[in-house]
Amino acid sequence: MSDLTNEDVVRQNVAAVRRTYEAVGRGDIPAVLDVLTDDVEWTLQGPAVIPFAGPRHGREAVGEFFSSVEETLEFQQFEPREFVAQGDTVVVLGYERNLIKTTGRTFEQEWAHVYTLRDGKIAKGRFFENTAAYVLAFDAR
C-alpha cells in the first residue's frame, strides 16, 4: 500500500506534465518520451490537412508526432498558462502563436490539453486545439 495521499499524487502528476512542457521548450523530445507509458495514447483531433493530427499509440508514434510538428511548425510563442488537476487527470490551458513553414502563414490559438497519468507517467494525451485556424494556415491558396 502506498503512503502517498491523493494530494501527493496530484502534485506528482502536475510535476510530470510540467516536465513535458519544459522538455518540449528545450527541444528535448527524448525527455518527453521518458515521461510516457509504453502504451501511451496520444490524440490531436483534426482533419488530415494537419499533418500531425490523429491518434498515435506508443512512444515511437509520439516521437513521430513531434518530428512532424517540428517539420511543419515554427513556434513563435508557446505558453502553458494554467494547470488544473484532479486525481490522475491534469488539464493544461494555454496559448500559442505559430508559423506554418510551408505556407508562411501564422496563426494564434488558445488550447486545452488533457492528460491521464498512470503510476506517475502520461498514459493518455488528448489535445483540443483550434483546428479551423490550422486549416486556414495550412491552406496554400
pLDDT of 1 strictly over 50: no
* Domain contains 65: yes
SS3 assignment, position 132: helix
For the entire predicted model, the pTM comes to 0.93
Please, what's the b/e burial string for 44-73 (b: 16 or more CB within 10 A of its CB; e: otherwise)?
A: bebeeebbbbeebebbeebbebbeebeebb
User: What is the tens place of the pLDDT at every residue in 39-78?
Assistant: 999 999 999 999 999 999 999 999 999 999 999 999 999 9
* Domain contains 1: no
Domain count, the chain: 1
CATH of the domain at 53: 3.10.450.50
User: What is the tens place of the pLDDT at every residue in 96-114?
Assistant: 999 999 999 999 999 999 9
* Domain contains 50: yes
